[in-house]
Structure 1
Amino acid sequence: MIYEEKYQELVELSHSDTSEIRKQADAWLVSIGLQDAAELKVSAFLLDLAIRNVKGEIIREEVSRRLNEHYADIQKRESKSGLDGGYEIIPPDSSKIKEIEEYNRELRPALYAELDKKRNND
């Protein structure tokens, strides 16, 4: 499968009738969205591992181990966003937060419609 097909499979899993599968796929898609907001693109290899994780074929620790093995010989590049493997603290007024939310709103419009509805009812 090519990258787009793997990504589409993960999106389809995020629409599963099984809530646990849906939650795991959503978590992967949000993390991929965060990478995209940082102007990074995940590999098809990672997408494959994410799909296998969501389907219950491998656990997250196995995903991490396989990533470390796969990329062990590759030198780490300078990050475009200042991320160094740790966490980046994004101030509440940062435009990055808006970019991330817009990306995720496009990805999951029904979820954000539900969240907006709950916010308006509070």
Structure 2
Amino acid sequence: MRLSHCDNPKIKEQADAWLVSIGLQDVAELTVSALLLDLAIRNVKGEITREEVSQRLKVHYGDTLYEEPKSGLDGGYEVVPPASPKIKEIEEYNRKLRPALYARLDKERNLN
């Protein structure tokens, strides 16, 4: 998603959040639908709100197949321990998406 390289910090932050979400689905070996990608891009561009994304997913998939995410760590999110191999998979995937960011982080780590 080219929007993650935008100069506008708000757009960049939203794009990064979507990229992480999509990356986590990929790591979990789930297929990301074209509909979700389209909604993510439209949300980042400011064409639709997060609430509209949720509503359109409910309309497309039906209320029984879509559960609104719960907030906080008690909301069913998986806490991945630091030593988990999943952490490495997530980082490898994100390195492919954001090579410049990781090059900078690697450089900073080597300086310390």
How far has the Cα of 1:74 moved from its partner?
Answer: 6.7
Counterpart position of 1:86? 76
In structure 2, distance between residues paired with 1:110 and 1:38: 25
Structural mapping, 1:1-122, within 5 Å: 11-72=1-62, 75=65, 86-122=76-112
In structure 1, distance between residues paired with 2:64 and 2:25: 19
| CA displacement 1:44-92 (0-9 Å, x = unmatched) | 001111011000011111111111121116757xxxxxxxx82112121
Query: Structure 1 residues 96 and 52, CA, compared in 2 at 3 Å: closer, same or farther?
Result: same
RMSD (Å), alpha carbons? 1.9
How far has the Cα of 1:16 moved from its partner?
Answer: 1.7
How far has the Cα of 1:17 moved from its partner?
Answer: 2.3
List alignment gaps of at least 5 residues for structure 2.
Answer: 67-74
In structure 2, distance between residues paired with 1:75 and 1:57: 25
When normalised by structure 1's length, the TM-score is 0.75
Identity of aligned residues (%): 73
In structure 1, distance between residues paired with 2:35 and 2:82: 33
Paired residue total: 104
In structure 1, distance between residues paired with 2:49 and 2:65: 26
